[in-house]
Chains A and B, each alone.
Chain A
């Protein structure tokens, strides 16, 4: 993907985070008299702060050609890509094992609903893995 396009997409994402965060804060303020909304406003604050931080970072990158060049190198660097891919592989492996253990533990403690949710999640993940493996085998 073109670097400028990537910066633009990230800026759009930052604006979405800010809007989502502000919406959550407003929702929390509106219904605060009826229910406990502490966690909703906290989540909203996190989204807003994250959005602003991302926006400032990418505006700086967009305005400064030197920063843009460094960002492009970091983005396209093959070692960085390899590290990112490996991290995803490890995440998938650890999550799969962790979820399988969680299903067993939930089963032991008669937490049937939780066990089903985690098991469905794991099945969906494995199914997606199989689908993408087939697609990539056909592609390459």
Chain B
């Protein structure tokens, strides 16, 4: 009897019981999490950079293109669209706000800026995304 009490009050037993209690508590959180997620089975999941996917075919075997934008591309203010484009179009290198490449993605806040940039670069659109960005090629 004494041995049993001693065993029950041992450090090992105490830690095991506390750990099991913790597992019980955490499992409740996990179950709640699981139930919330499993009730949204039809929520569509988009690949990052889907808005640039239409340019993929035009960029086969192209090493580098420009990515011109007037959006705030600082890391704090969502460099996301640039990185999303880079992810989607890899292994093509995107050069942020560099105009020297022959092909450029124009991702502006308004179509007016896009048209203005195309004119100043003497380029023509070769593909456009329904989400706004345009892929333009410089004219000889």
Are A and B physically bound partners? no
B positions within 8 Å CB-CB of A: none
